[in-house]
Amino acid sequence: MGILKGKKFSIYVQGCRTNQYEGEAIAAALEAAGALRRGDAPDIIVIVSCTVTATADRKCRKIIRRARRENPCAVIALCGCYAQKLSEEERALLDVDIALGNRLKHKLPRLIAARLAGGAPTVEANADVGRDGSWDALSLDRPRLHTRAFLKVQEGCSHCCSYCIVPSVRGRPVSRPMEEAVEEARRVTDGGCPEIVLTGVHLGLYEDLPLLVRRIGALPNIKRLRFGSIEPFAVDEKLLAALVECPAFCRHLHMPLQSGDDGVLSAMRRGYKAADFAKTAECARAMLGDELHVSTDLMVGFPSEDESAFRRSMEFVRGQEFGKVHVFPYSPREGTDAAAMPQLEESEVRPRVAEALALASELHKKFCSRWIGRELAILVEETDGAAAKGLSGNYIRVTAKAAAAVNETISVVPSRYAGEGLTTEGVSASSSLCSDISVI
């Protein structure tokens, strides 16, 4: 009999793909303990938190307050990056029952059961996260949020960009044992999930990523393999050769740029210049083909970014012809070196963000439009029986008139661009697939 038998739970997942994996793995652990996934009047609410920006912090607090307001008797467990830095005083103020830091999430079922039985509230952060070489023992049986399965294979980061709080809350780099990662990928794909997305806090630090790609790509039931995000300095010829030799690997690489100006990149401590990024992207396109979709992140308003630096960044981004550009304003994080630098005024940053977003929209339309009138294979993620929505291998969202089943791969010929991707004439491209907060 499970320690949570008959209890109902829901999980809010905030932020990155690594958090998406952890949320789904926590759901698997709660179900294994006997709990039932239900959205109505849950006994247990788990929030997998993000703290990468001040906006993420605010969203997390908003989720907590709403959860408590709507479920006054539920056990609320906050875990992850925001919880890692939470004090006992803050826990009490937010009225959460459990605050659990990183590399400790495997403890959740036991701690929740203890709290349900009348135990005291818990705050447990990993004080040694910066030195801890352990792997949080979470595993996934099947995806619950998407047709594709996120597979976390790496934790932590030692790169220490000047703006980033992640190393201090996620800790030192550690790689998941390869046999364990491959076995989980086998279990998920044998269970009917056709696509694996490898994720990590710094995926490129995985001890032997080319070998992992080859081994997972050789599994009998995998149709698609992709990366969530990978730093440009981790994309070398050895890795690209493995991707070329892996038929399942999708022609999409998300490589965070952050800035196209060398002075800003140096102040950020990114470890490369704009020309280095361009050379990596050029090599990737040469080896993986013209259909490769290179997407990126762009930070606007970093403390040392003056108007000329911003112009150079915009020029570089335009010249790279990215497909998808995620634009976000710089957010100072207490404890980072960049937070102590002279900050730009919001009135200066706001129009730059608007300009960068306009460029991102232009580039996305330009990239997607290359496939208008051409056949694209999409893996169906949503269907209503008459229309199907899904992703192409090179990460273009497509909506098409087709009577297809979820997880079915179909060929379509898009006829127009429709804001978030491509569609066929007469079919709406609106979708509920994109959100920075997911509910399990």
For the stretch 22-54, pLDDT in tens is 999 999 999 999 999 987 899 999 999 999 988
pLDDT band at 188 (very low <50, low <70, confident <90, very high): very high
d(CA 89, CA 368): 49
State whether 26 and 170 are in the same domain: no
Buried b (16+ CB within 10 A) or exposed e, 229-245: bbbbebbeeebbebbee
State whether 204 and 65 are in the same domain: no
Residue 288: the pLDDT is 98
State whether 265 and 298 are in the same domain: yes
Residue 440: the pLDDT is 81
pLDDT in tens, 347-387: 999 999 999 999 999 999 999 999 999 999 999 999 998 89
CATH, residue 107 = 3.40.50.12160
User: Does residue 50 form part of some domain?
Assistant: yes
Residue 109: the pLDDT is 97
Residue 432: the pLDDT is 46
- Pairing between β-strand 325-329 and β-strand 437-439 as defined by DSSP bridges: unpaired
214: pLDDT strictly greater than 90: yes
pLDDT in tens, 289-348: 999 999 999 999 999 999 999 999 999 999 999 999 999 999 999 999 999 999 999 999
Last residue of a domain, one of 91, 124, 157: 124
State whether 308 and 200 are in the same domain: yes
Query: Could you tell me the pTM of the whole model?
Result: 0.93
pLDDT band at 430 (very low <50, low <70, confident <90, very high): low
Last residue of a domain, one of 354, 369, 384: 369
d(CA 35, CA 189): 24
Residue 308: the pLDDT is 98
Question: φ, ψ for residue 198 (rounded to 5)?
Answer: -75, 130
State whether 261 and 381 are in the same domain: no
Bridge partners, 302 (sequence order): none
pLDDT in tens, 231-246: 999 999 999 999 999 9
Which token pair is 429? 């491209």
Domain count, the chain: 3
Last residue of a domain, one of 369, 384, 402: 369
Integer CA distances (angstroms), 146 to 10, 42, 382, in order: 16, 22, 9
Containing structural domain, residue 52: 8-124
